[in-house]
Amino acid sequence: MQSVCRRRLRHLWLTLVFIPCLVSAHDLEIHGSNTIGATLAPMLVTGFLEQLTGEPVTATATGTENETVLSTTRDGKPLTVLVAAHGTSTGFASMMAHGADIWAASRRVKDNEVDAMAGRADMINANSEHVIAIDGLAILVHPSNPVDQLSIETLAKIFAGEIINWSAVGGPDRAIQVYARDDQSGTWDTFKELVLAGKFTLTGDALRYESNDQLSEDVSRDPAGIGFAGFASAGNSKLLAIADDSAPALKPSQLSVATEDYPLSRRLYLYTPGTTGKPLAQAFIDYAQSQTGQNLVAKSGFFSQSPFAVDPVYDSSVPDTFKRLTQRYQRLSVNIRFAEGRTRLDNKANRDLLRIQQYLEETGKTGSDLMLIGFSNQQNDELHAQMISELRALSASKALRELGTEVRGHTGYGHYMPVGSAGGETGAQRNGRVEVWVRR
């Protein structure tokens, strides 16, 4: 019996010795998405540390691919931040293991991840979920490829290996080579959700990549290639316009991505364990959400959430009634979207209201210069759709009024002018929106 106990004690001692230490060697650790970690996170960390300390910041490779340490001094003491960009799912695993202070994710937290973290924090609460940028999932081909647009359905069939030659979609008689991100990537998760949609499986002939930039570079050199990457990594590749069901085909652009009208637009997130994390992590989140931080987002190649106004461009699908409604207005690069139900604003929308207020203040305008136009997702009854769209516009107007901005113009436009497919969760979420227009 005594020898059994000794063996058990020895086994426990060896286990403790060889478990990796969870005590961080850095003051702050950001783990996860390569899309965020390759350029954006280091830029934001550098700006944050410079503002915090007033000292220069140096970037050093750790010796492990896709890892960077940003270093400075604060009150004469070293201050370091690790950015480890190995894919969105690795960031969640690190947070679960108490390794990551901030989880960088290029897709929204999954239900099973919310459940796994429930004992520490509510990951869909505004204290935990922070949208820091908007990205467009760009579909890339060689610059010489004559194909200009594809539907999501056709795109899925190409990546599933059901369409194997470019001649089938209006291109040359050439076999298609598929390029895709690896399984650890949030970019892959987004593509799988928005394009493959549970109906298709990626072809086994696809070339897989950990890096957006490397994938794009290789596609730009391959006349047979097609791949996907974050918009900021498009490089020298040609971007295709994408159509979702009967909605107009759109290329990723500053407006179409910022408003999330582009079918393959996505939000980039930073997640923290609620209010239980490090104060330094929360200070960094606040910086990333600030005007200064959002300016760096724009410089990094992603899409800032700071509103800007543009003259509308109407194509043949836009009804004359809508043209008359908006003829004296410009479109703001913000769409108000909703969480559960039809009228509760989501976390990003609540932050966007504050950004709209800041825009009005900076441009010398007031709430009376705004017009909110609500839209419904597809409904069986036109009157019901109109009611939903008006309720959404009213909800956004009420939320602004509670913040001190009185909006006099708000209306609904029913389920017309969809930007996504009529069926499916993502199409419904994108169609159910409030557009923000500002008087010229």
pLDDT (0 to 100) of residue 438: 98
pLDDT at 377 > cutoff 80: yes
Q: Mark whether 6 and 91 lie in a shared domain.
A: yes
Question: What are the distances in angstroms from CA 34 to CA 91, 138, 213?
Answer: 10, 15, 10
Q: In 3D, which of 194, 197, 266, 206 has the Cα closest to residue 231?
A: 266
Give the C-alpha separation, 422 to 244, whole Å.
9
Q: Of 80, 387, 138, 157, which is closest to residue 266 (Cα–Cα)?
A: 138
Using a 10 angstrom Cβ sphere, with 0-12 exposed, 13-18 middle and 19 or more buried, the burial of residue 6 is exposed
Whether 322 and 428 map to the same domain: the answer is yes
Share above pLDDT 70 across residues of the chain, in percent, rounded to a whole number: 92
**Which CATH number fits the domain that encloses residue 208?**
3.40.190.10
Number of domains in the chain: 3
The answer on 140 and 82 residing in a single domain is: no
| pLDDT tens per residue across span 50-98 | 999 999 999 999 999 999 999 999 999 999 999 999 999 999 999 999 9
Q: Say yes or no: 233 and 125 in one domain.
A: no
For residue 410, is pLDDT > 90?
yes
User: What is the pLDDT at residue 14?
Assistant: 32
> Please, which pLDDT band fits residue 423 given cuts at 50, 70 and 90?
low
> For 293-332, what is each residue's pLDDT tens digit?
999 999 988 899 999 999 988 888 899 999 999 999 999 9
- Per-residue pLDDT reduced to its tens digit, 140-177: 999 999 999 999 999 999 999 999 999 999 999 999 99
Domain check: are 88 and 43 in the same one?
A: yes
- pLDDT tens profile 14-63: 333 333 334 568 999 999 999 899 999 999 999 999 999 999 999 999 99
* 382 and 411, same domain (yes or no): yes
- Please tell me whether residues 30 and 116 are part of one structural domain: yes
Q: What is the dihedral of CA 122, 257, 240, 153, to 10 degrees?
A: 50
Three-class secondary structure of residue 279 per DSSP: helix
Which of 258, 288, 318 is the endpoint of a domain? 258
Residues 124 and 108 in one domain: yes
| Residues 205 and 292 both lie in one domain | no
| CATH number reported for the structural domain that contains residue 328 in this entry | 3.30.1330.60
What predicted TM-score, i.e. pTM, was given to this entire model?
0.82
Parent domain of 422? 307-439
Residue 10: band (very low, low, confident or very high) from pLDDT cuts 50, 70, 90: very low
CA distance 360 to 376: 26
* Shared domain check, 161 and 65: no
Mark whether 221 and 291 lie in a shared domain.
Answer: no
Same domain (yes/no): 179, 233 = yes
